[in-house]
Homo-oligomer: A and B are copies of this chain.
């Protein structure tokens, strides 16, 4: 059973490629050619039965990933399935299970069983949870990757680009290494004075990925954790190494995307996107934010969505959402909803600006609905309809009652006499 990439190289248009082409309004031939070239990935493990395939690439609609998963301190299986439901309801294109606490295998099994969207994982978490951080480089490593692939995981974050000689450079930074996986691997390399085991066993990892068509998400263990550390030597040294790994993935017929920053000031986002395109030969760039200011804890769904929008506009293929709890605690189901909504807005705004086919349709529909005060239509066109519905009900409840003749052709912001839309409609009718 070949991977999507190997099939594409043989000229085959798979059902997955067809589905992606139709849902993105592009030709199946284009999807096939870009999958063959590694510029679109379709994470679709052969064992993920319920999967509805999704394409990720710079020329496609911007995707949004939602992270769920427990920590040692909080979160059980029921809570994680609730987060999965929430993620799907609020429009996640993929979901990552980042559990590091108990029951990792069971939680993942349940997620795969229930999820129609691609599932990603970061195997180092399970490796460490099972074997302990000290034994990160032992046999558990390949066992976990193999077991997760067999279970049906569609893509895996592997921090194979963070090499031993990068660590001292990264430790000079203000915030050092803020990637969990990156920090665990760096600590292991330093203590054992050995090279990154994911790097050393990369060919074995590729072999498993090819067998199950697991897409590799080449993790950026050295992503900057604050603006002061952005675009530095450590970050770009690792990115260059990720570019080398992209080549090895493509040689092996394994689909690959590249993960990116992090905390990046607005004026450096475009440069970061172009740099990845150059160093990693346009492998789909999957970015975390980027967060454009460090000093808005509690609001990092906003700081990251703002950076994400700009990143997507300049070429990022997928945005990893950030929730309001980032830097503070584990998100709950409500945080998942809020993070996703902010990122769906960011991705949509970028798609409009990039003139993706039909990207502006809903915007035009909702604007037509606004012009004729069709409130139900406005809600049905909304990226997230529940909040605006509630706002409208609340506003009408507290406002001064009006004669029925006014109908619903106003909102409480201006009231009927100062309503520009009402006035404008009248002028149009008269002219």
Contact = CB atoms under 8 A, between A and B. Distances in A.
Interface string A331-370: 1000000000110011011101111000010111111101
A100 B418 contact: yes
Contacts of A266: 309, 313, 349-350, 352-353
8 contacts: A100-B415, A171-B428, A171-B431, A175-B424, A176-B424, A225-B367, A292-B309, A328-B388
A170 to B, nearest CB: 8
A101 to B, nearest CB: 7
A275 to B, nearest CB: 17
A427 B172 CA distance: 11
A180 B324 contact: no
Per CB-CB distance, the 3 closest pairs between chain A and chain B, nearest first, are A329-B395, A176-B424, A298-B387
Contacts of A176: 371, 421, 424-425, 427-428
A413 interface: yes
A154 to B, nearest CB: 23
Given A71-B413, A171-B428, A399-B74, A391 B353 contact: no
A292 B420 contact: no
Indicate the size class of the contact surface on chain A: 35 or more
A9 interface: no
A387 B296 CA distance: 10
Contacts of A313: 266-267
Given A330-B395, A378-B297, A174 B383 contact: no
A391 B352 contact: no
A427 to B, nearest CB: 6
A400 B186 CA distance: 28
Interface in A87-138: 100-101, 125, 128, 133
Contacts of A324: 387, 391
A167 to B, nearest CB: 7
Interface in A226-285: 226-229, 265-268
Contacts of A175: 367, 370-371, 421, 424
A101 B165 CA distance: 68
Contacts of A182: 420
A1 interface: no
A299 interface: yes
A352 B227 CA distance: 9
B298 A349 contact: no
Contact of A73 (B101, B183, B229, B402): B402
Q: Which of A313, A341, A418, A419 has the most CB of B within 10 A?
A: A418
Given A187-B426, A313-B266, A313-B267, A367 B328 contact: no
Interface stretch (A20-28, A143-151, A201-209, A300-308): A300-308
